[in-house]
Every structure is written in structure tokens, then in C-alpha cells.
Chains A and B, each alone.
Chain A
Amino acid sequence: MKRSLVLPTIALAALTGLAACGVGAGSSQSAPSGNELSPSASVSGEITFWHAYSAGGGEINALEKTIIPNFEKLHPGVKVHDVQVPSSDMHQKLITATAGGALPDVVRADIVTVPELAKLGVLAPLSDVMPDFQSWAAKMFPGPLATNKYKDKYWGLPLDTNTRVVIYNQDALTSQGVSQVPKSLDDLKAAASKVGGGKFIFAEGGSGAWNLLPFIWSNGGEMTDPSVSKATGYLNSPQTVDAIQMLVDMYRAKQIPGNILGGSGDTPTSDGLAKGLYDTIVDGPWTFPGLTASYPSFKPATEPMFSGSAGSISVVGGEDIVMTQQSKNKALAAEFVRYMLSPDAQQAMGKVGQLSAEPALAADMASYAPYYAPYLEQLKTARPRPATPQWAKVDDIFTKQVQLAFQGKVTVQQALDSAASQIDPLLAQG
């Protein structure tokens, strides 16, 4: 090779490997037929289950030592191989496995990825292939169930759920002259001016939809129309703008810390809460085991999400259980889905921090951990983020525009007008 060509070639080679990672050879897809997946069908063989259960909190133990062995005992001769994938890698791993035709049979998927996977053709529609789907769907909280809907079909069932409530540090509030925890958005605004000296009335860990939708919804705003086909008129409505404006004003007045811009390196919200740096945060049930472990003397208290003109509305999180089209043993996969949603498995997971999405099990859940109760209450009104295969892009556009408003580079109205006009064509793609 000529010497002058060596460097450009190295540069080409170094740079272009990335985009080629996600392609692979063909796969076989078979359409499942309804009867073979009925609950009475006999099952045999093996399946693989991908999940992102955490190893530290006892979830893996519950799965591998209790749930899977019990399932295998119920169905002698079957084998479930479970594979733990770190939650941050799950999406990428699913995409590369899709391209390589190497998907597992059953996946515990983040609720926001289900419509995207459904659109890709990766998932088997449970509402079509499981004859008893309706009986399972009827058992679920409506918010978590709605995360499985795409194009009038349900592609999964809620495996576990969570939402976000206000967690506060009463001692910190008292020491700063705020006698009562803010219960509404107006209370929060009013209390903000009383707190200073490097302390903050409230801290939020990012500016994505997960972070800000509870404020928008509680204030009567929306992100899209009910059919998730349009953002203009909703994302840039006066109620949505007001909700974001309130947070932007507080940030600009240094009443909330830089965490809201995401990745700022400020003290993480739960640490700041325990240390008395932040008086209130809005977060999920996973906060409590962490606080107990790191700050045993700190007693966090809870309140429902700050209410606004539309009430107290938080956002649904959690995971759905889905079956892939590529599965070669859909009968066993369906039976495993049923078992994972059974009281036995749900209770075993509830004991290690995974909240069931089945209201009938709410009392059981509340008995496992006192901090579950406010979440179960909040779930009655909590809403899922708009279910669209374009969610990752929609959320990215929203986050970027809102961050520009936080930085004062554009007004909130300009930011949300721009976001809505960029999101509309994405939603139109369906």
C-alpha cells in the first residue's frame, strides 16, 4: 500500500466499524397459532428469559432460587435459562440480537420500549396469541397495562410497576422555616423563596419526560393528544408551558440545583435529600432500600406528587413481560409469562422491591414494605408516557428543547413550540 494511503485507511477503519455492528443474517419467523398457547396445553423443552433484575437487591436470588425452580417443579422436564442484562445495555442488546436473529423467548422489557419492539416486528402480540389474555389484562392497573398497547393490540403484560411520589426530609424543612411539606405546585413555589444558603426546596435528576411529565400532567398540561398522533396544541399548550415555566423560573432563581439539566455532577437527589441539602425530591420506590443502606438514621417521609389544577398525577414506570416472534417454544414461553404474573412469583418479587401491577395484590405488597403504600395510592392516577415506537426520539427532542429553556437560550414557549413541531412528523409515522 502506498504510504500516503495508509493514514486515510486507518482513519476509515477506525471510524466506520461502529455503524456496522447491528447487522446480521436472516431469521426464521413463525406465526403462532392461538390454541397451542392455551393454558391447558402441555409444555416441554427449554426457553431463555432476558431481564435486568439487579443482583444486589435480592431480585436475582428470588428469580433463580425461588421463581424459576418452582416453575420447573410445576412443569417437570422444562428448563428456563435466565440471562441478566444490565438495564443500561438492554436496549442495545435487544437491537443487536434482533439484527442477529438471536433473541430470547421471553423478555422483561422497559415499558417505553414495547411499542418500538412491536413496530419492529420483534414481539408476538399477546392479545392475539394467548387465548386467556383478557383475563390477565383485567387484573392489571390501567396505567401499566396501557404501556403494552400499540396499534390496537397488546404486545405484553405489566410484570412490575412503579411511579414517583414526593419524598421529603422533615428535619431539613423545619430547620429552614418551612413548617409543612409543600403539597401543591403553588405551595412548592411559595416555599422555594424561604430556602437558601446552598440548600434547595426541591431537586430533580433530569429534564426528560420521565422527570417533568408529573409536573405537566398535574398542572393540566399534556404531551400529545389521547391517540398519540399530534403534539402541537398539547405540548405547547398554556398549561404545559406554565408547568415548565415554573421549574425554569425556580432554576434560574437558583431555587433548584443543576441536577435538573442531567449529568451535571451535582450531589445525586437521594443523597442530597438525606444530607438535608434538598428538602424534597420526586422519586420511585427503589430510593428507600438505598437510603436505608447508606443513611440508616435518616427517616424519609412521603406525600403524593405535588398537585395542580388537574390533581396529583405521576408517571408510570416499570417493566412489561413480552414474548418474541422468534421464540421456537411459544407454548412454554406463554406458560412462563403466566407464571411470572401469578401471585406466587409476584409476591416473591414484591418482597425484594418489585411492585406488582395487580391491584388485587396491593394489600400483600403494602405488607412487605411500608413505603409501598404511597406508591400504590399514586398508581391509581398515574399515567404512562405516550406509547409510541418513536418514544426515544420524542423524549430526546423534548429533553433538548427544555434544557435550552433552562439555560435561558430560548423562552419556554419557543422551546415547546419547536419540540412540538419536531415531534409531530414522528408521531405521524405511527
Chain B
Amino acid sequence: MSTEAPFRARTEHVPAPSRPSKPRRGGSSRRPAHWWIPWAFAAPGLAFFALTTGYPLVRSLQISFYQWSVLPGTDSPFVGFDNYVRALGDPQFWTSVVNAGAYLLMTVPATIAVSLVFAVLLHRPMPARTLFRVLYYIPVVTSWVVVSLLFKYLFSSDNGAVNWFLQDVLHAVSEPVPWLEQRWTALAAVSMLGIWKNLGWCIVVFLAALGGVQQDLYEAAALDGANAWAKFANVTFPGIRGTVIFVAIVQIIGAFNVFPSILLMTNGGPAGSTEVPLTYMYKQAFSFLDFGFASAMSFVMAIIISAVSYLQYRITREKKEARR
């Protein structure tokens, strides 16, 4: 899907070379195509999808209309849209959605901007380039559990490294900041972990896209007297625009799905003020056994994320079309 975008962007500036006309399908030398052949090739993948995603999805939708009893064979009363009405009227659910939105705003633009800078720097020939690429990718492969606990210690109120730096080195604060005891400071701490953890993946994707931007465009820009910024703004960015959109959408979906870092750093507290949709759903399902309510919330969230992603996709696509 969107991974093709860099190549499309490239063709916006270069006239496509004339290509020999395509051979007609089903020519005399080819066997007649049967409608089921592509389906047969796709069948293993489709079966896997149906089993691991399709079935849970449908089952989850079914559960959301019941006051679901976890013990098989026992009564699960049908409650219609009650679970959805409960979710929409639950202030804690909306707090969790707002927190996920705040996390999104704190992480996605920063992650994309910083990773783009690093990707452009790492794309240029430089000593130990591979080493740096590996180093930036390491956070991606580390365990969420380990780094969440590590960040919890970094942001510890009484002897954390962050407070030590702010108080004893910079003298920016007079007393330790209770990072994880307040809503916004706690979300900021979790966001910093999110940015640090996702940076490497975005850099790798951007590096791949940068490799697809045609070198002769840079040469042409240089002949026109473009400086580094002008080259980035007029050649690099348009060339990887599709990838930026792709990364943004994936990051937005990821931000709404933030889970282990919140669970381990604040567990949604204090007083539920840092709860995010997934921690709240998880507690409803596995602590309170309210599977119907948790399923209903998951579908409300799915609709919200789909709407945000679609909106973002439309806006960015329209902008691109308007530029043509």
C-alpha cells in the first residue's frame, strides 16, 4: 500500500519513460485463467487471517452485545447496545481516550521529526554509519517490560536520574518533580519512553525511502544553486512524502494502542488519571471479568482510530493532489 508512495512521488518530477505496450492477457500462448486460481494462491494466507483475526473479531463483536459469562455453558444475557451506551457514558473511558490522544500528540510529531533528522544524517556517507544505524535500532528490539521499568526508575521522584539532572545539575527545580504522581508529568514521562522506543523503527523506514529518491534530482537542484535546506524541502521531502504518511498512520494507531509502558510505569494511576484505552479495557476484561463492556469499548476505539486514520489519509492525499 503506502510503501509504493516514494516511487510514485518520484514520477511527479520526472516524465515517465515510454514503455513497450503490455502483452495482452490470455494470449494464445497462455492457458485460460480460471477465476479460482488467485484465490487458491491466497487461500493459506486468508485461512490464517480468518483464524487469527477474522474469528476473534467476529466473536469479540458478538461478546460486546452480551453480559458475557466467562464460564462456558452458563447464561450470558443479551443486552443489545447496553455495553456501548455504558462505554459512551463512562467518564473514565473518555479520560483514557483523551490520555491516548495526548500521548499521540506528545509522541507522533516528535518521533517523526527526530527520526527524519537522524535518517537524513545517517543516509549521508559518514564513518561508522552502520554502527550508528544499529545503535539507533537497539531500543526497538529491547523488551517493553525492561525499558518501562528502567524509565520508571529514571523518573523516580526521590532518587531518579531525571530529577537528579534537573535539580542538582541544572538547578532548574527546587524540589524533586513527582513525575509519576501527577497526570500530565506521568504522561510526559511515558511519552519520552514512546519516542525513544519508536525512533529506530521510523529511522529504518525513512532510510529505505531515502534510498529511493533519485540522485539526479539532487544534481539538478545543485546546478540550480539549491542549498541543503532547499534540497531537503524540494527534493528529499516530496520524494519520501508517501512514506512519512505511512509512518504517521502506523504511529497514530500505535499511540492509541499504548499499553505496556502505562501498565508498568503508572498502572493507570493515580486515581485512574493516566489510564489509556487498552489498560482500561484490560482491567475491565481480566480483573473485573466484564468482557462484554471491554469488547464494546474496543469497537468504539476501533471506530475512533479508523476515523482518525482515514481523516489523516484523506487530508494528506488531498494536499498531494492539490499540488499536481
Binding site for B on A (CB under 8 A): 3-4, 6-8, 10-27, 29, 91-92, 95, 98-99, 101, 116, 120-122, 198, 257-258, 261-267, 277, 392-393, 396, 399-401, 403-404, 406-407, 409
A265-B179 in contact (CB<8A): yes
Give the Cβ gap from A425 to chain B, nearest Cβ, in Å.
Answer: 14
Q: A22-B70, A23-B59, A29-B73 given. 6 additional CB < 8 A pairs?
A: A15-B302, A15-B305, A22-B286, A101-B72, A265-B152, A396-B287
B267 touches A262 (CB 8 A): yes
- Does any Cβ of A come within 8 Å of B218's Cβ? no
Contact A8 B310 (CB under 8 A): yes
**B283 proximal to A (CB < 8 A):** yes
18 contacts across the A-B interface (CB closer than 8 A): A4-B310, A8-B310, A12-B306, A16-B56, A18-B285, A22-B285, A98-B70, A98-B71, A120-B69, A121-B74, A257-B158, A261-B181, A264-B181, A267-B156, A267-B159, A277-B158, A403-B270, A407-B270
**B contact residues around A261 at 8 Å (CB):** 181, 269-270
Residue contact A16 to B70, C-beta cutoff 8 Å? no
A120 CB contacts on chain B under 8 angstroms: 69-71, 289
Per-residue CB proximity of B15-26 to A under 8 Å, as 1/0? 000000000000
A320: min CB distance to chain B, Å: 19
CA A25 to CA B72, docked complex, whole Å: 6
CB pair A19–B265 under 8 Å, yes or no, is no
Q: In the complex, which of the residues A10, A19, A21, A264 contacts B178, with contact meaning CB atoms closer than 8 Å?
A: A264
Contact A99 B57 (CB under 8 A): no
> B57–A13 contact, CB under 8 A?
yes
Known contacts being A266-B156, A266-B157, is A17 close to B72, with CB within 8 Å?
no
User: Which chain A residue has the least Cβ–Cβ distance from B76?
Assistant: A23
Given contacts A18-B298, A99-B71, contact A258 B157 (CB under 8 A): yes
B284, closest chain A residue (CB): A19
Shortest C-beta distance, A110 to chain B (Å), equals 12
Q: Is the CB of A22 within 8 A of B72?
A: no
Nearest 10 Cβ contacts at the A-B interface: A20-B56, A8-B306, A19-B295, A265-B156, A403-B271, A20-B60, A11-B305, A261-B270, A403-B270, A15-B302
Given contacts A257-B158, A406-B270, contact A14 B253 (CB under 8 A): yes
Residue of chain B at shortest CB distance from A116: B289
Structural contact, A95 and B70, CB atoms closer than 8 A:
yes
B180 within 8 A of A: yes
Q: Number of contacts between A and B (CB, 8 Å)?
A: 170
B269 touches A262 (CB 8 A): yes
Given contacts A261-B270, A263-B269, A266-B156, contact A17 B57 (CB under 8 A): yes
With contacts A19-B281, A19-B291 taken as known, whether A409 is within 8 angstroms of B271 at the C-beta atoms is: yes
B306:A11 contact, CB within 8 angstroms? yes
A222–B297 alpha-carbon span in the complex (Å): 34
Expressed in whole angstroms, the minimum distance between the Cβ of B221 and any Cβ of chain A is: 31
A13 contacts across to B, CB distance below 8 A: 53, 57
B282 touches A18 (CB 8 A): yes
* Smallest CB gap from B160: residue in A: A265
Give the most central of A12, A13, A98, A400: most B CB within 10 Å: A12
- Shortest C-beta distance, A101 to chain B (Å), equals 6
Rounded to whole Å, the gap between the CB of B285 and the closest CB of chain A is 6
**B97 in the interface, Cβ–Cβ < 8 Å?**
no
Asked if residues A264 and B299 are in contact (CB atoms below 8 Å), the reply is no
Q: A10-B253, A11-B309 are in contact. Are A19 and B60 (CB under 8 A)?
A: yes
B272 within 8 A of A: yes
Chain A neighbourhood of B68, CB < 8 A: 23
Chain A residues lying within 8 Å of B240, measured Cβ to Cβ, are none
* Contact residues in B for A25 (Cβ distance below 8 Å): 72
**Beta-carbon contacts under 8 Å, B264-283 to A:** 265-267, 269-272, 278, 281-283
B contact residues around A407 at 8 Å (CB):
270-271
B256 to A, closest residue via Cβ: A15
CA distance A24 to B283 in the complex (A): 20
Cα A6 to Cα B55 with chains together (Å)? 18
Shortest distance from the beta carbon of A233 to any chain B beta carbon, whole Å: 24
Contact A400-B272, Cβ < 8 Å, known A26-B73, A263-B266: yes
